[in-house]
Amino acid sequence: MNLPDLKANSDFSEISLRTSSNPDTNKLGVSNDQDALSLFLRRAARRSQETLRRYTRELVRFTVFLRRERLRGFSECTVADIEAYVMFLHSPWPHWQQPGMDKSNPEKVFFPNAIKPGKSTDQIVTVLNSFFSYLQATGYLTGNPVHGFDKSGEKHARGHGESRFFYADEWQVIIRAIEEYPETTRSERMEKARLKYIFSIAYGLGLRQSELTGHSCEDIRRDNMGELTLYISGKGRRLRQLPINDNALQAIIQYRTLHGAEPFERDAFPLAPCLYPVKKNGVFKSMSPRQVRKWFSGFMQYCADRVFDNDPELARRLLSKSFHSLRHTTLSHLARNMDIEDLALFAGHEAITTTQQYYTPEKERLRDLTKAHGLTI
């Protein structure tokens, strides 16, 4: 995995001379903030490429802010600095929303948009807490300024959270949009075929974005019972095996055949292919996670445009959904007929409490059970 070249970044060169505040107990093996951050990102890279991307983005932004606005290194960071940063995220100052803050990359904009209070902010605080906990545990720092920081996101009792899956009316718009996708030009026919292929794989197997882009037909092999199985290295590098049923297999065969490949073979044919193969050798490359997000947003815009005139609210809801909503939809649909323990295995959840959020029928059952309850006077 490619790691960021922190030494090439002028902002990091400014803090590279700042040293550990606890040299007697420092077991990290480095003596400055630049190298400490590099080691932590190497650790993040072992989890997944997506984790590395997210951690790098948030920690680079925080470090540059800490140095520029608070004139501090990691060892000098306080709870007040964290509080100031969180407030800043909710309303970034204008000069941070413009290019020119990074001398080595003049076009870079560190904080193009404000971060909403709640879950989005909490995710950033979680990254910072993980980083400072690591520095404290290795003796590089004597404390963690993020420890005990109150998160702002609302907590939901079991069965009462708002899920991010596609509701029935939204899902029908998506299915119909794929079925009725135009086929006038070659590019349109190619895109329609790719939509069917990727949606069939992602929905059928409940894949995360990073899992879809990080695997290919090479990862499909027969298990010890002779059944086709997709071997996944997922979030946190946890391994799981997903059965390839007939629906998923037919989607793979149809798309490969369309492009002149063998109906099925263990090769590098991606699960999230670019629209066209590489001209030089005719081999398909996988889309990157960023490309998948852009591709999915474009399709959601297409779906929203189809319904906007008749139902603007439905269009708005479609535009609010991300690619991860597809995984939520898969797990929510399977939860109707699958035991929670089995669904947790399928999803690759480490804690079964994570799986509970997909059992939304509980809310419907509560509505039925309490329908006649009340005081009649």
pLDDT in tens, 190-228: 999 999 999 999 999 999 999 999 999 999 999 888 899
Residue 311 in domain: yes
Confidence of residue 28 (pLDDT cuts 50, 70, 90): confident
Residue 371 in domain: no
Domain that holds residue 81: 6-137
Q: Which of 148, 146, 271 is nearest to 208 (CA)?
A: 271
**Residue 162 belongs to what H/E stretch?**
none
Of 119, 137, 155, the residue at which a domain comes to its end is: 137
Pair (176, 103) in one structural domain: no
Pair (330, 181) in one structural domain: yes
Of the candidate ranges 261-270, 316-325, 363-372, the one whose mean pLDDT is the lowest: 363-372
Of the candidate ranges 43-57, 121-135, 254-268, the one whose mean pLDDT is the lowest: 43-57
Residue 65 in domain: yes
pLDDT at 364: 62
Pair (202, 323) in one structural domain: yes
Angstrom distance (rounded) from CA 101 to CA 165: 38
Angstrom distance (rounded) from CA 75 to CA 143: 9
Residue 145 in domain: no
Angstrom distance (rounded) from CA 291 to CA 318: 19
Pair (260, 129) in one structural domain: no
Q: Which residues of 19-47 are buried (b: 16+ CB within 10 A; e: fewer)?
A: bbebeeebebebebbbbbbbbbbeebbee
Pair (52, 116) in one structural domain: yes
pLDDT at 14: 46
Q: Which of 57, 15, 53 is nearest to 36 (CA)?
A: 15
Pair (204, 341) in one structural domain: yes
Residue 234 in domain: yes
Pair (83, 226) in one structural domain: no
Residue 51 in domain: yes
Distances (CA, A) of 329 to 43, 159, 306, 332: 31, 16, 21, 5
Angstrom distance (rounded) from CA 274 to CA 26: 47
Residue 285 in domain: yes
**What's the CATH number where 317 sits?**
1.10.443.10
Of 91, 118, 137, the residue at which a domain comes to its end is: 137
Query: What 3-state class would DSSP assign to 132?
Result: helix
Per-residue pLDDT tens digits for 124-180: 999 999 999 999 999 999 889 998 777 665 555 555 455 578 999 999 999 999 999
The residues facing 239 across adjacent strands are 233
Pair (232, 290) in one structural domain: yes
Burial of 89 (C-beta count, 10 Å sphere; 0-12/13-18/19+)? buried
Structure tokens given for 184:
């006038």
pLDDT at 146: 92
User: Does 18 score more than 70 pLDDT?
Assistant: no
Report the 3 state secondary structure along 171-197. Answer: HHHHHHHHHCCCCCCHHHHHHHHHHHH
Q: How many CB atoms lie within 10 A of CB 207?
A: 26
Q: How many CB atoms lie within 10 A of CB 144?
A: 21
Angstrom distance (rounded) from CA 215 to CA 145: 38
pTM, entire model: 0.67
Pair (111, 254) in one structural domain: no
Pair (190, 322) in one structural domain: yes
Strand order in the sheet with 220-222: 220-222, 228-233, 239-243
Pair (345, 219) in one structural domain: yes
Are 61 and 109 in contact by the 8 Å Cβ rule? The answer is no
Are 67 and 133 in contact by the 8 Å Cβ rule? The answer is no
Q: How many CB atoms lie within 10 A of CB 359?
A: 19
The number of distinct structural domains making up the chain is: 2
Angstrom distance (rounded) from CA 34 to CA 24: 19
Burial of 290 (C-beta count, 10 Å sphere; 0-12/13-18/19+)? exposed
Pair (203, 289) in one structural domain: yes
Dihedral-angle region of residue 339 (phi above 0 means left; psi in -120 to 50 means alpha; beta otherwise): beta
Are 326 and 202 in contact by the 8 Å Cβ rule? The answer is yes
User: Does 88 score more than 90 pLDDT?
Assistant: yes
Share above pLDDT 90 across residues of the chain, in percent, rounded to a whole number: 56
Residue 159 in domain: no
In whole numbers, what is the pLDDT of the chain averaged over residues? Answer: 86
Query: What 3-state class would DSSP assign to 32?
Result: strand
Where do runs of H (alpha helix) occur along the chain?
Answer: 10-15, 33-45, 49-69, 79-90, 119-137, 168-179, 186-205, 209-213, 246-258, 289-307, 312-319, 324-334, 340-347, 352-355, 361-369
Are 47 and 41 in contact by the 8 Å Cβ rule? The answer is no
Of 114, 137, 160, the residue at which a domain comes to its end is: 137
